């Protein structure tokens, strides 16, 4: 247990808050994956690469505008759009011709996309470590029960629920959202009433990837941005959608909370095996409920 902090009220609450803010990043990334899973029924393996590209793009954009607060906010807006553009091109150019194929082929296609995007990222940005400064108003920390808690994580705790509410409003209140949900349940019927299913798919795919890019951009001030961050996030995102219920947005939220909180408490209790705790939580959830916590759309 060496290296663990003394377990006090302050440590517990900080751990909980760190876990929650981690969960918010996970939720933003995973909700995108879950959305694509729900509508297209494809586990998008390239999702992690798009997250990584989001982080790299955020770094480039922030540097382009001088690295200050303006640069940061512009990066948060434009990095996801860059990612969305990449995914739109990939979808319209290649992916849309495969929808009639078996799911295994679709999965392997996204894997090919992951391999290509991973190397392209290396070619464009190189293998160096990069970091982004949070804007001045989000730097430093506030005191919670006498322990410091970074302001940026507080910002994440606000953004995460905002994204969740936005997604919820979008999918229940707007026509496009309703069409996408309908396509998730019965694609043929949606086509039969005269809606271009191919474009619904394109839209869902791009929206999902946009969320991956947003997650990457948002996480970039808290970690060092580097090649290889795609591999870890995609496994975590897969686990989360599996325990949450495939294609269910609130499932993604529940899964992210479970994952983020067990991860940060793992760090508190047993730092060396912190990585194992969330996986164990996943196994426990799946033993009790093999199809995930909430109802899957499948």
Query: What is the spatial distance between Cα 150 and Cα 134, in angstroms, rounded to a whole number?
Result: 11
Which of residues 178, 231, 289, 295 is near other proteins by CB under 8 A? 231
Interface region with other proteins, contact rule CB under 8 A, candidates 63-71, 111-119, 160-168, 215-223: 111-119
| Helix (H) and strand (E) counts in the chain | 11, 2
C-alpha distances in Å from residue 230, one per residue of 55, 76, 94, 106, 150: 10, 19, 22, 19, 25
CB 186 within 8 A of CB 49: no
The token pair that represents 204 in the structure block: 């869902």
Taking CB under 8 A as the rule, does residue 3 contact other proteins? Answer: no
How many residues in the shown chain lie near other proteins by CB under 8 A? 46
Taking CB under 8 A as the rule, does residue 289 contact other proteins? Answer: no
Interface of this chain with other proteins, residues 234 to 263, rule: CB under 8 A: 235, 238-239, 241-243, 246
Taking CB under 8 A as the rule, does residue 131 contact other proteins? Answer: no
Taking CB under 8 A as the rule, does residue 145 contact other proteins? Answer: no
Q: Which residue has the tokens 């480039």?
A: 60
The token pair that represents 203 in the structure block: 């839209």
Taking CB under 8 A as the rule, does residue 57 contact other proteins? Answer: no
Which residue number, 225 or 241, has a Cβ lying nearer to other proteins? Answer: 241
| Residue of 229, 253, 255 whose CA lies nearest to 242 | 255
Q: What's the min distance (Å) between Cβ of 239 and other proteins? A: 5
Q: What's the min distance (Å) between Cβ of 159 and other proteins? A: 27
Q: What's the min distance (Å) between Cβ of 92 and other proteins? A: 15
Query: What is the spatial distance between Cα 77 and Cα 71, in angstroms, rounded to a whole number?
Result: 10
Q: What's the min distance (Å) between Cβ of 89 and other proteins? A: 14
Please list, residue by residue across 92-109, b when 16 or more beta carbons sit within 10 angstroms of its beta carbon and e when fewer do. Answer: eeebeeeeeeeeeebeeb
CB 167 within 8 A of CB 208: no
Query: What is the spatial distance between Cα 117 and Cα 210, in angstroms, rounded to a whole number?
Result: 15
Which residue number, 54 or 292, has a Cβ lying nearer to other proteins? Answer: 292
Site string for other proteins, 11-50 (x = CB under 8 A): ------------------------------x-x-x-----
Interface contacts to other proteins, rule CB under 8 A: 41, 43, 45, 94, 97-98, 101, 103-105, 107-109, 111-116, 118-120, 122-123, 231, 235, 238-239, 241-243, 246, 272-273, 275-276, 279-280, 282-283, 286-287, 290-291, 296, 298
């Amino acid at each position: 247990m060496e290296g663990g902090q003394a377990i006090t009220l302050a440590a517990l609450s900080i751990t909980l808050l760190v876990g929650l803010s981690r969960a918010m990043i996970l939720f933003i990334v995973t909700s995108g994956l879950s959305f694509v899973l729900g509508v297209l029924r494809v586990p998008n393996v390239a999702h992690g690469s798009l997250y990584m590209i989001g982080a790299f793009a955020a770094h480039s954009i922030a540097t382009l505008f001088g690295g200050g607060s303006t640069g940061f906010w512009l990066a948060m807006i434009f990095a996801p759009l860059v990612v969305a553009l990449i995914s739109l091109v990939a979808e319209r150019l290649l992916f849309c011709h495969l929808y009639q194929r078996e799911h295994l082929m679709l999965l392997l296609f996204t894997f090919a996309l992951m391999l290509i995007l991973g190397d392209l990222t290396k070619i464009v940005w190189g293998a160096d470590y990069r970091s982004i400064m949070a804007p001045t108003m989000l730097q430093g920390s506030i005191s919670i029960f006498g322990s410091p808690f970074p302001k940026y994580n507080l910002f994440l705790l606000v953004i995460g629920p905002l994204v969740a509410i936005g997604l919820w409003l979008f999918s229940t209140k707007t026509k496009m959202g309703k069409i996408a949900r309908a396509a998730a349940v019965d694609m043929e019927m949606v086509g039969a009433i005269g809606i271009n299913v191919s474009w619904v798919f394109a839209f869902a795919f791009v929206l999902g990837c946009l969320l991956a890019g947003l997650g990457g951009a948002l996480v970039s001030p808290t970690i060092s941005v580097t090649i290889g961050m795609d591999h870890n996030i995609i496994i975590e995102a897969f686990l989360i959608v599996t325990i949450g219920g495939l294609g269910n947005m609130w499932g993604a939220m529940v899964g992210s909370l479970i994952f983020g909180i067990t991860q940060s408490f793992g760090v508190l209790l047993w730092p060396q095996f912190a990585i194992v705790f969330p996986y164990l939580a996943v196994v426990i959830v799946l033993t009790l409920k093999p199809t995930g916590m909430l109802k899957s759309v499948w």
